[in-house]
Amino acid sequence: MSNDNSCLISKLSHYVDLDVQSRDSLARLEAEEEDYDRACEIYGADMEGQFLYVVKHGWLYSYIDLPDGRRQIVKIHHPGDIIGFQDIAYHQTTTAVRAAEACVLCPFPKKGLTTVFSDCPQLAALLFAVALRDHTVLVDTIRAIGRMSAMEKIAHMLLDLQARLRITNTSMTDTMRLPLNQSEIGDFVGLTNVYVSRTLMRMEEMGLISRDGINVTIKRENDLARMADFTDRYRKLDTSWFPDSES
């Protein structure tokens, strides 16, 4: 089983050197592959969720609808992410997941994690730490949505996405592909698509960013970081409390 090209493994390896057993356990999760079209709903909310998914290609997002049609996007999933991990403490899914573009997923049963937890304490600790990291990221998002202006919210979102992509792609430039339309951006930061458009225009006029089709360039990262009071939560984790890994 070759696991050299697994984004999941390379993403997790950013934090600790995984032992062979851990790498094998992870590779097993990526045994199956499935293709999904853009805008396809992978699963809905409040479903019996027996499956998790490793993202192989493409972006997706988790969201929750309100009864009247309003929608909140909660997390954007990139290659190497595990979708559904947050829901393992519940019998049913708490969010729905949709493909932001055509993508490839590796589904695996919820039970597949049991062996990880029992056989690979180091990996279990890492997955735990990543879950806590995602919690902190969510806290930063709450702060942005609850207390920031439209432009600050969008600045925060762009910097957050960039920081995440930098984990696996260390040679990243200041330009990234952003396969989300403005309604989706709005649903993520709590604005309407119209106001997202106006705000992006304004940011472009101010020279903070530039856009070219699906690509966004962050031109004045420091200024954006200052206005969003941004902290990179992805780069480093405290792994000192992990079991038996001195690496």
Positions in the binding site for DNA (CB under 7 A): 149-150, 181-183, 186, 190-195, 197-198, 200-201, 211, 213-214
14 contacts a copy of itself (rule: CB under 8 A) = no
Q: Which does 143 bind (CB under 5 to 8 A by kind): a copy of itself, DNA, none?
A: a copy of itself
- Dihedral sign for Cα 64, 209, 145, 69, please: negative
Q: How far is the CB of 43 from DNA (least distance, A)?
A: 20
Q: How far is the CB of 154 from DNA (least distance, A)?
A: 10
Q: What does the alpha-carbon distance between residue 151 and residue 84 come to, in Å, rounded to a whole number?
A: 30
> Contact with a copy of itself (CB under 8 A): which of 5, 20, 37, 118?
118
| 221 CB-contact burial (10 Å; exposed 0-12 / middle 13-18 / buried 19+) | middle
When CB distances are held under 5 to 8 angstroms depending on the partner's kind, the choice from DNA, a copy of itself, none that residue 183 binds is DNA
Q: Is there binding between residue 175 and a copy of itself (CB under 8 A)?
A: no
Instruction: Spell out the residues 6+ positions from residue 46 whose beta carbon is closer than 8 angstroms to its own.
Output: 92, 93, 94
49, 69, 168, 171, 183 from 179: Cα distances, Å: 26, 22, 18, 20, 12
Tokens representing 168? 């696996």
DSSP 19: P
Please tell me whether residue 122 binds a copy of itself under the rule CB under 8 A.
no
Q: Which residues bind a copy of itself (CB under 8 A)?
A: 64, 66-67, 70-72, 74, 86-91, 94-95, 110-111, 113-114, 117-118, 125, 128-136, 138-143, 145-148, 189-190, 229, 233, 236-238, 241, 243
